[in-house]
Structure 1
Amino acid sequence: MGQNAIVYARVSTIRQADHDLSIPDQIAHAERYCKERDIEIVGAYVDPGASARDDNRPQFQRMMDDVKSGVIRADMVLVHSFSRFFRDAYGFAVYSRMLEKSGTRLMSMTQETGEGAQADLMRQILSSFDEYQSAETAKHVTRSMIENAKRGFWNGAAAPYGYKTIIVERHGNKDKKKLDLEPQEAEIVKLIFQLYLYGDGKTGPLGIKNLVSYLNGRGVKNRNGKPFRIQHIQEALRRSAYIGTHYFNRTESRTRKPRPREEWVEIAVPPIVEESIFHAVQAQLDARNPTMTPPRIASSRILLTGVAICDSCGAPMRTRTGKNGQYWYYTCSRSADMGKTGCAGVTVPMGKLDAIVTDALCGQVLQPDRLEYMLGSLLARNSGRRAAAQARLKELKRERRELDQKLEMLTDALEKGVPLDTVKTRITQRQNEREQVNRVISFVNREIDSPLSAVTPAKLEAFSKGLRARLQEGGEPGFRKAYLRLLLDNVAVAKDRVRISGRKDVLAYQLTAEKPLPPSMVPTFVGEWCTRHDSNV
């Protein structure tokens, strides 16, 4: 009675490191091998694009389960070489032993080992050599890719959303690529950051879930034509490439563990988002992260918790009470925990510090003339962005005209008798492209129509007066705390002075928003303006 076999075939995901036979070649070789030896093939399992360094391979796991459970019975599992089965000596030993316990032996078409103790030893030696060879190959490939990255080239992976790869050099038969902007996607990236930080002028800032709903509800598609998901937006908002720097070699390829910062390789790429906007988004993401901002701080009505810090050591200021809760103070948390050896610290009556901060904001920052001075450069930059957006709009309209012409030509072809099946796919593709261009045009129009260009002295005066009235003592506590967290980066408290830092672009967008931000939508931002209030506190 003839023997039977299961064929297992695999190729690696690391194409640069694996020049072995393709899947069809491995299967064809197995069929010839079995035909010559009168072996019947009773099953085949294929993992296209899977590393043999571990068992994270769907078809490999299915094969092992089928053999162990008796779903399929075979005398042998046949592989082109033992490295197709495993490139890790320990894994090789464990899984080959599992097969043996099920009455199935592991056989290689190109590495005959025979049977018995000597065969077992030979297989162990071969698997150890495969592991060593895999590690050496990976090391050399990694070194080559790092050198490639240091020279500013892109290492073959799919370009991040907002970018495309372009060939910039050719070395022999290898193309050297760099990232370039993909204009339509880049506009959507800008929109994502704007919506998260400011909203569209009507909604207020959008959280990630609402941002996904906003994009999908307007028919904006991801690169693969599918709707956006929460993970896509989370990754986009953290991607440093959007401000001009991509980092290669951040994680270990096998374990995905982070590498030390000094091992990262910086690659300069075309920026999409302004640095100030990107860093403001990072601060807001951190502020909304419950592991970084405790709920008791976010929900407390005490004005400066989570904002006030000790100027001496940088530790947060916390509250304490005196005389059975009759008096409240802000005090250095490090000094409170460790005593004067931790920090000499400072303790300030709560009402006094609250008044110093709100008085400084209302008296120095939120005065109309001061607002006009601070926001002048921002409004000038916005004017430059509008000019760039207008040029981009002109290019988009040209693209739309070209698509209209292509659609007209395809329609003419139908009228002249060309079968629908011949042009249907191209018509659908051109219609989708035109729809996407129209969406981007609407986004660019919104940028051109930004309300930042409509700031008048009267609007400055009304904004200043209204916000000062609500921030001063007697205003609604929740609103006061929410807007202080919006406007302030930190309040550094020393014994003889208080230094207050915050962002002026936040002021600008609050000034021009159609609706004021509700407290639940208020983020925390990195500082960009600074005022100092000297006081004997």
Structure 2
Amino acid sequence: MSQAARTAALYARFSSSKQREASIDDQLRACREWCRREGVAVVAEYADYAISGRTDERPQFQEMIANAGESDIVLVYMMDRFSRDPYDAPLYKHELAKSGVRLVSAMEAIPESPEGIIYEKLLEGLAACESRKTSVRVRRGMEGNAIKCLTNGVRVYGYRTGEDGRYEVVPEEAAFVKEAFRRRIGGEACNSIARDFAERGVVTSTGRPCGYTMVYQMLHNEKYLGKYSWGGITFEGGMPRIIDDGQYGRAQKVKGKKQRRNESWGTFALANKVMCARCGRNMPGVSGRGRCSVKYEYYGCTSCRMKAVRRDWLEGQIVGRIRELLGDHEEALRIARIVVEAGNDKAVELDRRQAQASLRSAETGLQNILNAIEQGIIAPGAKERIAQLEAQRDRARRDLDTLDEKTIDPEDFARFLMFGATLTDKAVLEAFVYQAKVDEESVLVTLNYDTQKNEPVRLDIPRVRTELQWC
């Protein structure tokens, strides 16, 4: 840990979909112990109960992000408590970093080294993978509810969950739904309807004033036709109807005066990692439209006349070469061992030894009391002492189970590197690439780990000239 870190904000989360999740109290206890051991003062504690890590709609989480800067670090029990979403995790880490705050795990030692970047990114991938497995199990039960047309917790303005678990109409809200369709058919803009509804007290499911999005979604929601739909399961007449087919159809035909083109732009996964070999400056991502509205995306040097390099070609070439390396089991295993060894935490091993000592102490104490009872010796307070020792034993076993479950086996890690479905191209680039130096003839890529000769792994990728331009 950086010596500059002197204050910490703690964050804990419990997901109701997990069957073996550490409790909020256990998470905070481990975080407080870490702070005590490292000499860090706790300035704030945040906890979200029964909320999945795959969403960022967590009140305490958002408050913690908003208060970034009140501490030197944000401390979590494990990285998956911060987020299980592969996109939210780096986004909010960046938000913290802008305020000079680092994210730290109490149970996972992520070294401040190139290997640490790989370790952290792959932990995010593993967390996302486990979250998807949990989603499959949860979804199976929810599909059974959908067949019965139960709400499954999905809130729709104009309806509420009845005693039988199915949708029933809320008359006051249904009146606003009908009014929205009537006014839209009359040509009124969604923004105008939303402003009026907000002034009259209409709010979203999260308590916010009605806005454009709420009205737009309302006007395009087929549930108001009585069509129940959840996860691809659809039943006509599966819920009460509020709008008739004619009204719904006429509302869909009303078009706004200005239609914007739906455009999709790429993400520059190598931002701040592509360097110009000629002048040594960073080559930022550049995107836009050229002649005939042709879209282009490049990494280009703004300081000299080095030929720009296409984003899709550069990123594709590097990902392809890295995946070739990871496709070899021996190389994947070697990388896995480097990362796992770099992630070995002396503090975690100390916690393991302490838990084992606590377990031995409790079991020895219980055995001594049992021996005394068998000899007819019953000391005052024996019953209370037995309860204390049993609680100590159970707590030590839970701590050991947690540590054992989170121990990463290099073979499993290697298989994840070779076949992990959540190891996206973007994750590969962010985890493995340290720098890509571009010149006129080739691209020299330096990776975040060393060869067996303790030299940085480098990839030399030749640039291919097409008829019109350099790649």
- Flag whether TM exceeds 0.5 (same fold): no
Structure whose residues are more often helix by fraction: 1
Structure 1 or 2, whichever has the larger Rg, is 1
Structure with the larger RCO, 1 or 2 (CA within 8 Å, 6+ apart): 2
Scaled by the length of structure 1, the TM-score of the pair is 0.37
Using the size of structure 2 for normalisation, the TM-score is 0.41
